[in-house]
Structure 1
Amino acid sequence: MTSALPVSRKDMMSADESATAWALAAGGGDPEAFEHFVRALHRDVLRYVAHLSADPQAADDLTQETFLRALGSLHRFEGRSSARTWLLSIARRAVIDSFRYAAARPRPSDNPNWQMAVEIAQPRDVPGFDDGIALLDLLEALPDDRREAFVLTQMLELTYAEAAEVSGCPIGTVRSRVARARITLLGLLAEAETPAA
């Protein structure tokens, strides 16, 4: 079981350095290093794609796709950025590609009330489930670019520079998006806590 406590920046840097070393070794042909690389970054990739895709059920497939793409590209990884940043960039492209694929292929439903079927299939009575749903609802209210910046920096604890590299935009833009996301989230929280008249 993993701890829910926040990881210090020093521990995060050490973990990033280890993951980068594993990636470089795996790129050199060490299969055991690839296993360590996957273990070190699997949770971060899973969380990131779950938030980007807004589809927790597709998160496992997107995580697997990310690592498959990374496996095919590890020989080209030179360690100029951390392996974590490099891998999250691959994850972002995997999510974008899945959106493109989904948009090109409509999904038919045999159930005339498919929304009710989806609602019934959702898990219930899981500790923290309602809080998790509330957080997802709040994050879903953010524009995509702000949600991505917020998740990268506040939930996955990437630096602004790393988040900028993953997102493909300037650091100042990431800072602005995070600041605006915080303001929006605080407003939504205040609104939700205000009793209805």
Structure 2
Amino acid sequence: MSVLASSMTLTAAQLATHVANNQRENAAIARGLKKQDPELLDHLIELYQHRLLRYLIFLTGRREVAEDLFQETWMRVLIRGGQYDGRARFDTWLFTIARNLVIDLSRKRTMSSLDEMSEGGDDERPFEIVMEGPSPLEQFQARENAAELSEVLLLLEPNYREVLVLRFHEELSLEEIAGVTRAPLSTVKSRLYRGLAALKPEMERIRTLRPAREGAR
């Protein structure tokens, strides 16, 4: 067997092991949530608290609102944990709960829901995102600090911002993002493509403003 063939076989075996481990972990979480195991919930909160709060802050644009929804999301996990069957990743299910709470809050406040906010219309034609090298978000993240990245993302349309955060911060696949947002895969691709396109001019604007900010200090 050639070295390349051996390497490919090893990679496939590692992937299969990784998938099997994830499935076992998801099944264990599902069993624990059905029993309302308090130790499991504490472990999940410790494991996902930073990611969940970051997602909610980017989604709402307001930390105080995000913190309230953060608490309510974990209450839903405790109360409705029996609905999680372990077939999907736990973080995908968690983000779906959080997103639904944001939409519910928006409707209660008679605001436009995330799905109704103006985007100029999603083109349902599938976009094939072809990029050589790092994406604009990855380039910016590598050069700038977290505060500046957050500032730029918060300037984008909520639907674009959400997909960018789920894809590049949370590293969800496009299919998983479609599950969280309940949008067709083609729409997810469109939002990602448009979000990356909208990110570039905002990056340039921040860079232009930075010397003036530093001079004012």
- For 2:95, the equivalent position in structure 1 comes to 88
- For 2:34, the equivalent position in structure 1 comes to 27
Name the stretch that deviates more: 135-144 or 40-49: 135-144
CA deviations 1:139-184 (Å, max 9, x no partner) are: 2221121111111111121111111100001222212211221121
Larger radius of gyration: 2
Identity within the alignment, %: 31
* Deviation for aligned residue 1:77: 1.4
2:60 paired with 1:53: yes
Q: Distance in 1 between matches of 2:90 and 2:26?
A: 6
2:205 paired with 1:191: yes
Name the stretch that deviates more: 150-159 or 172-181: 172-181
Q: Distance in 2 between matches of 1:55 and 1:15?
A: 33
* Equivalent position to 1:158, from 153, 172, 179: 172
Q: Which has the higher contact order (CA 8 A, sep 6+)?
A: 2
2:163 paired with 1:169: no
Please tell me whether the aligned partners of residues 89 and 167 of structure 1 are also in contact (alpha carbons under 8 angstroms). yes
- For 2:75, the equivalent position in structure 1 comes to 68
The two structures have a TM-score, normalised by structure 1, of 0.70
Q: Kindly tell me the number of residue pairs found equivalent between the two proteins.
A: 161
- For 1:179, the equivalent position in structure 2 comes to 193
- For 1:138, the equivalent position in structure 2 comes to 152
Q: 5+ residue gaps in structure 2?
A: 1-14, 112-143, 212-217
Name the stretch that deviates more: 44-53 or 14-23: 14-23
Q: Distance in 2 between matches of 1:97 and 1:61?
A: 13
* Deviation for aligned residue 1:191: 3.4
* Deviation for aligned residue 1:93: 0.9
Instruction: Go from structure 1 to structure 2 and tell me whether the alpha carbon gap of 1:44 and 1:133 turns closer, same or farther (over 3 Å shift).
Output: closer
SS in 2 for 1:81: coil
Q: CA RMSD in A?
A: 2.8
Q: 5+ residue gaps in structure 1?
A: 1-9, 105-129
* Deviation for aligned residue 1:55: 0.4
CA deviations 1:119-140 (Å, max 9, x no partner) are: xxxxxxxxxxx95553333222
The two structures have a TM-score, normalised by structure 2, of 0.64
Please tell me whether the aligned partners of residues 26 and 74 of structure 1 are also in contact (alpha carbons under 8 angstroms). yes
